[in-house]
Structure 1
Amino acid sequence: MTEQNGIDLDSLQTMAKVLGSLFYFPLTDENNQSLIKAMAADSTEQESAFSDWCQTVNSELKDTLNQDFFLLFEGGEIMVAPPWGSVYLDREEVIFGDSTVAYRQFLREHGIELDTGMREPEDQFGLMLFAVSQFLEQKAELEVVKNLFSDHLLPWCYRYLELVQEHALSKSYKELADLAGQWCEAVQEVLSIEPKPLKLYR
């Protein structure tokens, strides 16, 4: 177990990676199905909420989950819960806004390259959690991880997760957004992070 100031960094890294996957790929994706199967079998107290959530996912039709993924993460003409930070932090509510550029610069300064093979904003919620996981995996300074949360993720993610809960058609995504919000609050408390007070436009 890797600990720093009494904080279990291995657990933090694992959960960032798991939530990153669940918010970036469809729940019906093969990797996510493997994760869900593993979490469902984990009966430890810490993971019990996720174990219950896995039962919810398994009780819903794949078509319902895929439809929800399209609605929430790809969208048609209207995005009801955009997963990109700059949509919330930019006055024009655009992707690739100034906050995306600042976050991209932050990643570069600290040696993280997120290449998904697609031209997409790095400030997608799931991708940002992957970055958290990557920093922890590479044993980056804890202050860097805290800065990612305080300056780039926490200022907008609670509003985003509220919108996911509000607009999701499936219980799976409603509950997942709730669990992710609880996890972010726990990280904020454990690491003593004060989110930057940035104005939200959505």
Structure 2
Amino acid sequence: MDENKEAVLESIAFVGETLGPFFLQDPVKGDAGAAFEALAALDADAAAGEWPFVDTDEAQRDLGLMKEGLAKGTMDDDLVWEYRRLFIGPAAKPAPPWGSVYTDRECVVFGESTLALRAWMREQGIQRLDDDKTPEDHIGLLLVLMAWIARNRPEVLDDFLRLHVLTWSSHFLEQLAAAAEQPFYQGLAQLAKASLEGIQSALALEVSYPRYYR
């Protein structure tokens, strides 16, 4: 593998490993406390110039929003309750983080696209990275899995992104950014969207977009 390809794969892994936990982990109860603290201490302007696949001005804006949202620390009630409002419930989520909610006619969790992803993973011999009951097409799980595939199974990365991530990620992340009422999650949604679209462009992936039912 040439050095440029290795660098692209490492950058893709960085994006997935950095952003994925923020979609999966409660700021207080989760295991991503160190990641939240690192983001809070980040020099957003300097980091924006290093962020891969995204225009510097956009990265600066999005990282700035994320840092702004952490200004009061991870114990801030607004931050904690916003995570739970967006990703946990019990109230209806304004932008559910599972792909099948948008691509399945019935707008259900564990829909056809989830089963298709599960079958693809089985065919590739890829096991889940955790043992919880969250559907495989949760955006956070997909970002973390993207990082793992980039490092361990790069030959299947294009198909993973083209068939199971990029088909719905921009649609969802746009809705999430609009629904977010706390700057951290607004910035996170925008940065994830821009990063995935930048990866699509860098890999020259042609994606067949489904009909969205939500």
TM over 0.5: yes
Aligned to 1:13: 13
* Deviation per residue, 1:42-91 (Å, 9 max, x gap): 93522462653453133246211111111111122312100000101110
Output the amino acid matched with 1:130: V
Gaps (5+ residues) in structure 2? Answer: 52-58
Tell me which residue corresponds to 1:177.
189
Aligned CA distance change for structure 1 residues 89 and 199 (closer, same or farther; 3 Å):
same
State the alpha-carbon separation in 1 of the partners of residues 63 and 93 from structure 2.
30
Aligned residues: 200
Q: Which runs of 5+ in 1 are unaligned?
A: none
Alignment of 1:41-52 (within 5 A): 43-44=46-47, 45-47=49-51, 49=60, 52=64
Correspondence 1:120-199 to 2 at 5 A: 120-141=134-155, 144-199=156-211
Q: 1:12 to 1:38 in 2, by over 3 A?
A: farther
TM-score normalised to the size of structure 2?
Answer: 0.83
What's the % identity of the aligned pairs?
31
Conserved 8 A contact 1:136-1:145: yes
Change (3 A) 1:201 1:131: same
Say whether the 8 Å CA contact 2:26–2:80 is kept in structure 1. Answer: yes
Aligned 8 A contact 2:121 2:127 in 1: yes
CA distance in 1, matches of 2:139, 2:102: 12
* Residues 103 and 210 in structure 2, CA contact (< 8 A), matched pair in contact too: yes
Superposition RMSD in Å? 2.4
Which moved further from structure 2: 86-95 or 31-40?
A: 31-40
User: C-alpha distance in 2, partners of 1:186/1:7?
Assistant: 14
Cα distance change, pair 2–31 in 1 and its aligned pair in 2 (3 A): farther
Aligned-residue offset at 1:115: 4.4
Q: With CA pairs under 8 Å and 6+ residues apart, which has the higher RCO, 1 or 2? A: 2
Q: Secondary structure at the match of 2:206?
A: coil
Cα drift, residue 130 of structure 1: 0.9
The Cα shift of 1:34 comes to 4.2
CA distance in 1, matches of 2:8, 2:85: 35
Deviates more, 1:97-106 or 1:70-79: 70-79
Partner of residue 80, structure 1: 94
Q: Which residue of 2 aligns with 1:94?
A: 108
The residue aligned with 2:56 is none
Q: 1: CA distance between counterparts of 2:23 and 2:88?
A: 12
34-43 vs 184-193, which deviates more? 34-43
Q: Confirm or deny that 1:30 pairs with 2:33.
A: yes
